[in-house]
Structure 1
């Protein structure tokens, strides 16, 4: 996965306060460095304590509030009203203080965006969970320090820390004993499916068959196909087609190869085959996609 991590705000807020954060093409995360707050999404409410982390992998709109009764202000208005002071935006009030570090993981390509969408909507890592993840706890402490630092290279340091933070959050999800929703994460928790996914991503242009993949991981064809569908949510060849199209889109946007060369590299028998599949998936031809994304 190619992701770009960044911090977009460090906040010091005194109750009452509330912010309305819009949806976006990225995964948002919020670290409660001090105090407490409430996160509200269309799927539920989470109460966050000092030291805890929450990640919203679908980039959905959400509210952060000092309490359920607090009035809410759109994020853009808060940013306009409260300029940066020493790397922090301060919202004054008469109540208890809360300090937040807010950031995002932005996907760089089609495959990366799809993989983000395959993760749980909201991941809340509470104090008990973080106590068992010392490496993640260390990263969060470093992030809180660098986010408001004026030292040389602080912006670069926070970007690198957020990228490492993503790896640690994924590790925490893989080690979680709770059942994961269908998707690639659930597939990685099953060793035989993890090996199959590894093979597909290692050589997506190969003329794979369900039978060959099943043999590679030591399963019958029928059992493998059923398990893949159950855990990942789609048949093996449908997953492979999505992978190939994501790779083709990535090369169209970033590379200079001809469309015929891209079709061959992605595993399509012909350029016309890529054209048809690409139009079904993206609603436009590869050449139109290239023009639209390289302006």
Structure 2
């Protein structure tokens, strides 16, 4: 099994859609913090995403993922008032595949969803990914498989065809993998964590061993020997890329529920 698949096998990932939206400015929604990763696809139009620390402008065809589950806002402009997601859904029931919010301003179409992972292992691995990932049009232009998934997701999210909700959920799970692939292609901007470790072939092999057999008493020396490195060099590289020692990482794996 290749390393990314070996790591993902233990996550028990579940994708779902909050809602497809058709809105006209001015509008704004507050999205709560939670034990999941939120994502937003701008199908048409443009908007602003605000977190506690940054403001991101989103254009048509772009995707943003908040892997740390932080609370955030989506707004037609930075001055727009916001209401809670629950209130917005209650006030504007789904019609023709989307929740429609009337207004006199610029229109936008959004698909909002989340990636959730069962158990402590999955939650910890989500938090081990970059906090916010913004895939703009230039980046997506080089990722045809990801673009195709986004188009399929937008179609199914707004569809009333039999099985559309299940199809959209399955697409979100494939979308998660494609986003990780995109991050692996951009290692310079990927912070320390298990995904950054996978970008280095020898560390990827070690991480694969750890995830496939976490109960084994892997020593630093044994892992280093498996991947053909000196103990000192392996321990240093693991700390730099993954952000913790091999022993701490193995201990965390064994703390996950079965």
Report TM bin, short chain. over 0.9
Q: Give the length in aligned residue pairs.
A: 248
Instruction: Name the counterpart of 1:8.
Output: 18
1:61 & 1:70 partners in 2: Cα distance?
A: 17
Instruction: Name the counterpart of 2:4.
Output: none
Instruction: Name the counterpart of 1:220.
Output: 230
Deviations 1:130-149 (CA, angstroms, capped at 9, x unpaired):
11000110010011111111
Tell me the C-alpha RMSD between the 2 structures: 0.9
Instruction: Name the counterpart of 1:160.
Output: 170
* 2:219 is the counterpart of 1:209: yes
Once the two structures are superposed, the pairs formed by residues 142-157 of structure 1 within 5 Å of their partners are 142-157=152-167
Instruction: Name the counterpart of 1:281.
Output: none
Structure 1 residue runs of 5 or longer lacking an equivalent are 252-295
Aligned residue among 95, 98, 123 for 2:133: 123
Instruction: Name the counterpart of 2:7.
Output: none
* 2:65 is the counterpart of 1:55: yes
Instruction: Name the counterpart of 2:95.
Output: 85
* 2:147 is the counterpart of 1:137: yes
Deviations 1:74-128 (CA, angstroms, capped at 9, x unpaired):
1111111111112211111110100000000011121111110000111000001
Is the CA contact 2:67–2:129 (under 8 Å) kept in the aligned structure 1?
A: yes
Of 202-211 and 142-151, the range deviating more from structure 2: 202-211
| TM-score, normalised relative to structure 2 | 0.94
| TM-score, normalised relative to structure 1 | 0.82
Q: Alignment partner of 1:129: what SS? A: helix
Query: Which is helix-richer, 1 or 2?
Result: 1
Instruction: Name the counterpart of 2:202.
Output: 192
Q: Alignment partner of 2:160: what SS? A: coil
Structure 2 residue runs of 5 or longer lacking an equivalent are 1-10
Aligned residue among 171, 182, 191 for 1:172: 182
Is the CA contact 2:187–2:199 (under 8 Å) kept in the aligned structure 1?
A: no
2:123 & 2:87 partners in 1: Cα distance?
A: 28
* 2:112 is the counterpart of 1:102: yes
| Rg larger for | 1
1:4 & 1:134 partners in 2: Cα distance?
A: 23
Is the CA contact 2:24–2:104 (under 8 Å) kept in the aligned structure 1?
A: yes
Q: Alignment partner of 2:182: what SS? A: helix
How far residue 177 of structure 1 moved from its aligned partner, in angstroms, is: 4.1
Deviations 1:198-232 (CA, angstroms, capped at 9, x unpaired):
11112112221111111111111111111111111
Instruction: Name the counterpart of 2:32.
Output: 22
**Structure 1 runs of 4+ with >6 Å offset:** none
Q: Alignment partner of 2:33: what SS? A: coil
Of 172-181 and 86-95, the range deviating more from structure 2: 172-181
1:43 & 1:217 partners in 2: Cα distance?
A: 40
How far residue 172 of structure 1 moved from its aligned partner, in angstroms, is: 0.5
| Higher RCO (C-alpha 8 Å, min separation 6) | 2
* 2:80 is the counterpart of 1:64: no
Q: Alignment partner of 1:215: what SS? A: helix
